[in-house]
Amino acid sequence: MVSYPIGSVIESACPHVVGQRCKQAAMKWEQPGINAVLKWRCLFKNNAWDNYWYQNTKAA
């Protein structure tokens, strides 16, 4: 069986990608704001955006 270091690559890439996005010129973030943006970005990138909003508007 061949073992691939996928977990360690992804784990090291996440802080880099998030940090790169959040630390661009003239960007200032506080914890609640960046958490909300990252949550929405994850939903969008995982094609779960429409499902998330549909469930939340259905409950309202």
pLDDT computed for residue 3 by the predictor: 64
pLDDT tens-place string over residues 2-59: 666 666 666 777 777 777 777 778 878 888 888 888 888 888 888 988 888 887 676 6
Q: Are 29 and 22 in contact (CB under 8 A)?
A: yes
Q: State how far the Cα of 50 lies from the Cα of 44, in Å rounded to an integer.
A: 8
Helix %, strand %, coil % of the chain (to 5): 70, 0, 30
